[in-house]
Amino acid sequence: MLSVSDVADQGLLDSLQGQLTTSVADWVGCTFGEAAGNALFSAGGQVAFAGEMLSTLMGAYTAVMIIVMIIQMIYSCEQSEYQLDAKKQLKVCHDLGSYCDKSSSILGLCLVRKESYCCYNSPLARILNEQIKPQLGLDFGTPQTPNCAGIKVSDLSRVNWNNVNLSE
């Protein structure tokens, strides 16, 4: 076990710093070119970051993070969106596609697209609806006007069960 003073006396920290600086300088040179490496590091291997450059980068990063936080606050998810996501993860929803919300359209440009799903009580119910509705000439409707109604018991006698694939 080495104490902190032993590490300092042996110059291990200086050696580690020199190795790390050399590794970073090599990476910067390979990634961004030798000119970038020379601009950031002096010949002695010590970091020569200009205070202004670092300050500018941190300012830009801070501005981006503030914008991201504002967007997240404005467009935060509602409880129903979390519930839909959970249902999608459980594979109980049939994706109908997306459409442009006409109330958010300006000069023909779509600003908000909405997704539409038919969700059922179980994956089996979803699979049966996906397999049986086409046989009966039924569909799920369109994203704007979904038809998520189930299959009537009276229609089950018309189903060719040999064409129903339950492998999923």
Quote the tokens at residue 145. Answer: 């006007």
Residues 109-151 have pLDDT tens digits of 888 889 999 999 999 999 999 999 999 999 999 999 999 999 9
pLDDT at position 111, please?
A: 86
d(CA 19, CA 37): 15
Least confident of 19-23, 102-106, 120-124: 19-23
For the CA atoms of 147, 153, 155, 157, what is the dihedral angle to 10 degrees? 150
Residues 65-82 have pLDDT tens digits of 888 777 766 667 788 888
Confidence of residue 102 (pLDDT cuts 50, 70, 90): confident
Taking CA atoms, 8 is separated from 17, 22, 71, in Å, by 12, 20, 47
Written as one letter, the residue type at 110 is: C
At which residue do the structure tokens 């109980």 appear?
92
- pTM for this predicted structure: 0.53
With H, G, I as helix, E, B as strand and everything else as coil, classify residue 141.
strand
Instruction: Enumerate residues 6+ apart whose C-beta is below 8 A from 101.
Output: 110, 111, 112, 113, 114
The total of other beta-carbon atoms located within 10 Å of residue 126's CB is 21
Phi, psi for residue 20 in degrees, rounded to 5: -65, -45
Confidence of residue 44 (pLDDT cuts 50, 70, 90): very low
The answer to whether the CB of 132 falls within 8 A of the CB of 164 is yes
Closest CA to 36 of 46, 51, 26: 26
